[in-house]
């Protein structure tokens, strides 16, 4: 089979390798679609993400769907949960498997991901796809799960206002989930016009382009000077964090979803303190796949329009270059 491995910063190589052999509780999955995430771009450009560093050639990719090739569920189309918690630690026992101290995660550290033709994966982590969902839709369920978890942390309720700072694929999913949760005035910001056009088509009341600095004044003006109830920072940049905090009303919530390149988040404490903001950091997802499938199947959330580019594994150079240049929205590798 073909497998795409990262050997070092900006050093991706396509290999011929044997198919993986499923272990206890695992089945063989033929990967039909794997999305390129912003975190994959961190691995590519930096040789790691946060304090996790590349120690061996690693197969990236944690957003994936495929077809089960072995076992009782052979032939079933599935979306894969990339997280494998231990099930025994305190976090797992408390119902927070995404915070597991021994979590294995596809395409991270020692766990090879899905940018290859076949993976061996726990059957319990494979969610059946209804006929209404395509394979690319299935690959989009992982980022949708991240968006659902972020909106849960934001405690969005009917009638609230919200702002999304950074409208890449994940930000556009946060926007849609916030809308389904009841947010009635959603403001979207980004530097790229095509992302703002997508935000408006997906339900943003206002789409504000960032040109020479922040857009705090525009956000405040759109809310009558009060500020939004909940702000979601999805850009991974300190400037976006500062703007999110400045744009949130006193007593509001700010959810940090983006991953900063230098593993540091800075903001003006006095502003956040005087408004007594609740600042929450979001980590991946928990228990979201059934909800994600229902949101897509019922057409409450549109993931299909976010997939703007598809490439084969052999076209990985062009695929990653497209993602790095932020051309279009989501890039999918198909095998």
Q: Report DSSP letters for 159-187, one per residue.
A: T-EEEEE--SHHHHHHHHHHHHTT-SEEE
**Average pLDDT in the 266-273 region?**
94
> What is the rounded end-to-end Cα distance, in angstroms, of the chain?
10
* pTM metric for this prediction: 0.96
**Average pLDDT in the 268-292 region?**
96
**Average pLDDT in the 229-239 region?**
96
How do residues 159-173 score in pLDDT, each as one tens digit? Answer: 999 999 999 999 999
Beta strands 52-53; 48-49: pairing state: antiparallel
Taking the C-alpha atoms of residue 258 and residue 335, their distance in angstroms, rounded to an integer, is: 29
Alpha-carbon torsion, ordered 8, 11, 16, 17, to 10 deg: 20
Confidence label for 262 from pLDDT (cuts 50, 70 and 90): confident
Taking the C-alpha atoms of residue 102 and residue 98, their distance in angstroms, rounded to an integer, is: 10
How do residues 94-126 score in pLDDT, each as one tens digit? Answer: 999 999 999 999 999 999 999 999 999 999 999
Lowest mean pLDDT among 67-76, 256-265, 306-315: 256-265
Domains of the chain: 2-140+303-334 (3.90.180.10), 144-281 (3.40.50.720)
**Average pLDDT in the 190-201 region?**
97
Confidence label for 215 from pLDDT (cuts 50, 70 and 90): confident
Confidence label for 152 from pLDDT (cuts 50, 70 and 90): very high
Q: Quote the pLDDT of residue 133.
A: 97
Q: Quote the pLDDT of residue 213.
A: 67
- The first and second tokens of residue 41, run together, are 């771009």
- The first and second tokens of residue 16, run together, are 């011929």
């Amino acid at each position: 089979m073909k497998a795409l491995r990262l050997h070092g910063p900006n050093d991706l190589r396509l290999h011929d390798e044997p198919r993986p052999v499923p272990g206890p509780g695992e089945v063989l999955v033929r990967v039909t679609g794997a999305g390129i995430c912003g975190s994959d771009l961190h691995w590519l450009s930096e040789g790691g993400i946060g304090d996790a560093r590349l120690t061996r050639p690693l197969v990236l990719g944690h957003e994936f769907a495929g077809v089960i090739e072995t076992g009782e569920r052979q032939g079933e189309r599935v979306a894969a949960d990339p997280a494998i918690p231990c099930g025994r630690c305190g976090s797992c026992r408390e119902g927070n498997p995404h915070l597991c101290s021994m979590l294995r995660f596809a395409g991270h550290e020692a766990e090879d991901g899905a940018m290859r033709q076949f993976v061996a994966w726990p059957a319990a982590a494979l969610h059946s796809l209804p006929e209404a969902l395509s394979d690319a839709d299935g690959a989009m369920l992982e980022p949708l799960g991240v968006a659902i978890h972020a909106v849960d942390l934001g405690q969005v309720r009917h009638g609230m206002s919200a702002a999304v700072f950074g409208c890449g694929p994940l930000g556009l999913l946060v926007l849609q989930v916030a809308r389904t949760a009841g947010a009635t005035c959603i403001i979207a910001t980004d530097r790229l016009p095509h992302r703002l056009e997508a935000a408006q088509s997906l339900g943003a009341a206002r789409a504000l382009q960032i040109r020479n600095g922040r857009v705090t004044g525009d956000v405040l003006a759109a809310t009558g000077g009060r500020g939004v109830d909940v702000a979601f920072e999805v850009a991974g940049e300190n400037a976006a964090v500062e703007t999110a905090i400045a744009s949130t009303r006193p007593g509001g919530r700010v959810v940090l979803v983006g991953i900063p390149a230098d593993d540091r988040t800075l903001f003006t404490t006095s502003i956040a303190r005087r408004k007594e903001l609740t600042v929450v950091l979001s980590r991946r997802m928990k228990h979201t796949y059934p909800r994600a499938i229902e949101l897509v199947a019922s057409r409450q959330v549109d993931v299909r329009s976010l997939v703007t580019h598809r490439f084969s594994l052999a076209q990985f150079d062009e695929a990653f270059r497209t993602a790095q240049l932020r051309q279009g929205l989501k890039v999918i590798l198909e095998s």
